Amino acid sequence: MYSFTSRIRYSEVDINKKLDLAAIINYFQDCTTFHSEDLQIGIEHMSEMNFSWMLSSWQIIINRSPVYGETITTTTWPYGFDSMFGYRNFTITDTSNAVCAYANSIWILVDLNTGHPIKLTNSITSAYPLEDGLDMEYAPRKIKLPKESQEEQPIQVVRSFLDTNNHVNNGQYIKIAEEFLPKDFIIHEMRADYRTSALLGDTIIPKCSITDKECIVTLCQPDGKPYAIIQFIAQ
């Protein structure tokens, strides 16, 4: 288990001074990379092995969005490995130890030479002590595509979308999808199903299906196949 404590910055909040979803994802992502670095199996080590962890899915539940200036603690731990998959939980807690947000995530080990998933190696799995998984209702890894959706204006992938793998960072898909939420839509739960990586210069075509309680944004390739499917569930 790994934790770090931080204070909510002005650059991380929305117009209501609340920590936004993209910032929550960044805290979770930073926490897992810090954890791996401290275990001596971080970005440089994985790069030398020509391996990388790629995110397959998010399930994030928001009980309360922390506010500007508030002190929070972000915690993560792996709870299982299976073939090419790694399973990891996260929490954000406040100074009274109340859980503001929590998450499940599923990761896939990828060979950077081929771009294909590979089976986990003992050298990787043995580096991560496993903990018990969160007591939560776990959603499936895959999200079903809606039967009908509204196509929106295409988006071009620019350099600022990319991470160290030269792929669109998982949080960027969420930021894109959030732009299509109705103004009064308050997110209680977000699921993300990542299908393939978008690269610099690629075109992303958003398709939206919106109801009072749910919004599904499918971020598609020009041929209609999804890069990612994002589901927002309202309070």
Residues 6+ apart with CB under 8 A from 175: 22
Residue 139 lies in a domain: no
Residue 144 lies in a domain: no
Q: Which long-range contacts (CB under 8 A, 24 or more apart) does 14-18 make?
A: 17/67, 17/68, 18/65, 18/66, 18/67, 18/68
Residue 208 lies in a domain: yes
- 62, 157: one domain: no
pLDDT at position 96: 97
- 194, 94: one domain: no
pLDDT at position 185: 92
Q: Per-residue b/e over 80-105, b at no fewer than 16 CB within 10 Å?
A: ebeeebbbbbbbbbeeeeeebbbbbb
Which of 125, 158, 180 lies at the terminal end of a domain, its last residue?
A: 125
Q: Highest-confidence range of 147-151, 178-182, 189-193, by mean pLDDT?
A: 189-193
Residue 141 lies in a domain: no
pLDDT at position 164: 83
Residue 203 lies in a domain: yes
Residue 38 lies in a domain: yes
pLDDT at position 121: 86
- 116, 190: one domain: no
pLDDT surpassing 90 at residue 112: no
CA of residue 3 relative to chain centroid, distance: 18
**Total domain count, the chain:** 2
Q: Which domain holds residue 193?
A: 150-234
- 6, 117: one domain: yes
pLDDT at position 166: 87
Q: Highest-confidence range of 70-74, 113-117, 124-128, 177-181, by mean pLDDT?
A: 70-74
- 201, 162: one domain: yes
- 98, 15: one domain: yes
Residue 134 lies in a domain: no
- 8, 41: one domain: yes
- 179, 97: one domain: no
| Residue 190: pLDDT band with limits 50, 70, 90 | very high
- 86, 17: one domain: yes
pLDDT tens-digit map of 211-226: 889 999 999 999 999 9
- 36, 97: one domain: yes
Residues 6+ apart with CB under 8 A from 198: 157, 161, 167, 168, 204, 219, 221, 227
Q: Crossing angle of helices 170-178/21-38, nearest 10°?
A: 170
As a whole number, the mean pLDDT across the chain is: 94
- 15, 121: one domain: yes
pLDDT at position 165: 81
The CATH number of the domain holding residue 173 is: 3.10.129.10
Q: What's the pTM?
A: 0.92
pLDDT tens-digit map of 137-164: 999 999 999 989 999 999 999 999 998 8
| Phi, psi dihedrals of residue 161, rounded to the nearest 5° | -80, -15
pLDDT tens-digit map of 45-85: 888 888 888 999 999 999 999 999 999 999 999 999 999 99
Residue 229 lies in a domain: yes
Which of 108, 125, 142 lies at the terminal end of a domain, its last residue?
A: 125
Which of 90, 125, 160 lies at the terminal end of a domain, its last residue?
A: 125
- 23, 111: one domain: yes
pLDDT surpassing 90 at residue 132: yes
